[in-house]
Structure 1
Amino acid sequence: MDALDLIDRKIVAELMQDATLPLARIAERVGLSQTPCWKRIQKLEAAGVLTGRVAMADPAKLGFGLTVFVGVEAPDHSTEWRDAFCRTVATIPEIMEVYRIAGDLDFLLRIAVPDLPTLDRIYRQLTDAVAIRNVTSYFTMERVKYTTAYPVDTRNR
């Protein structure tokens, strides 16, 4: 898919804010009738611009009140180690996000757990599965800002 036009950007912005909006409301907000709007949404999904629609939940109300960012330093940078590490983190549901990063650390993980014993279990599961040079944990005190919506430009240029 080529660059998104203004209407596509508006559709994406609306869906990122509230994916439960009725099609009629989205179409009205972006200046289309329902059928062309639906066809654009289907095209955005087929092109991989829209990758899914989910419900947002409060982690604390689900029993995951502790968020920990964990930095992982690899013992080496081989394909074998990286593949084993990626396979391992994919099997641990409390690991919500994994990023390969540049800098002093090699990977940054966002982990949601109910308590420290659960974090310790995950640490043991991870370090039992793959060799790790160093692990550094950062415990969150408060979530100041959180969004899943990217700041898509919806202005007419």
Structure 2
Amino acid sequence: MELDDHDRKILRLLQANADQTVQELADAVGLSATPVNRRIRRMEEAGLIRGRVALIDQEGLGLRATLFIFVKTSRHDADWLERFSRGVARLPEVIEFYRMSGEVDYLIKIALPEIADYDAFYKKLIAIAPLSDVSASFAMEAIKNTTELPV
């Protein structure tokens, strides 16, 4: 999808605050409301804007621990991948899940109330599918944590 400067500015503004009215966006971009609304609709229809969400404070929910889990497996067949992917995606603690290149096959980011809760999560994880190695690290501090993409 081809984006011009107005589209990029609209995207930056929406990423910072999706609650803005079309008129507020139009004023900030320097266009009238109708073309701004049309641009937003076009970006939504193209799948560039996938949705609008409320960002919730993780610690405010009592989820004080962020852990990164590194998974290695000796299985790479389609059936195993389907079983593992579906099973991990269903775990509510999982907030990000990636298939990786390099020495680690999968990276899973989870949020838990306490680091001590990792053992219960670990037991659920290893019950999903056979794994060769699972290790985890916890974040001591979030230095940068954003949902805003560079536009």
TM-score by length of 2: 0.95
- Report what 2:27 is aligned to: 28
Q: CA deviation at 1:3?
A: 1.8
Structure 2 distance, partners of 1:76, 1:3, is: 40
TM-score by length of 1: 0.92
Which portions of structure 1, spanning 4 or more consecutive aligned residues, are displaced by more than 6 angstroms?
none
* Identity %, equivalent residues: 39
Q: CA deviation at 1:128?
A: 0.9
**SS state of the match for residue 60, structure 2?**
helix
Coordinate RMSD, CA, aligned: 1.1
Structure 1 distance, partners of 2:146, 2:128, is: 32
Structure 2 distance, partners of 1:82, 1:4, is: 36
- Report what 2:9 is aligned to: 10
Q: CA deviation at 1:96?
A: 0.3
Matched, 1:125 2:124: yes
Larger deviation, residues 45-54 vs 111-120: 111-120
**SS state of the match for residue 70, structure 1?**
strand
Q: CA deviation at 1:22?
A: 1.7
Matched, 1:150 2:141: no
Amino acid of the structure 2 residue aligned with 1:149 = E
Amino acid of the structure 2 residue aligned with 1:5 = D
Structure 2 distance, partners of 1:93, 1:46, is: 29
Structure 2 distance, partners of 1:22, 1:74, is: 48
Size of the aligned set, in residue pairs, is 151
For residues 2-151 of structure 1, what are the structure 2 equivalents within 5 Å? 2-151=1-150
Q: CA deviation at 1:80?
A: 1.2
Q: Is the 8 A contact 2:89 2:97 kept in 1?
A: no
Give unmatched runs, 5+ long, in structure 2: none
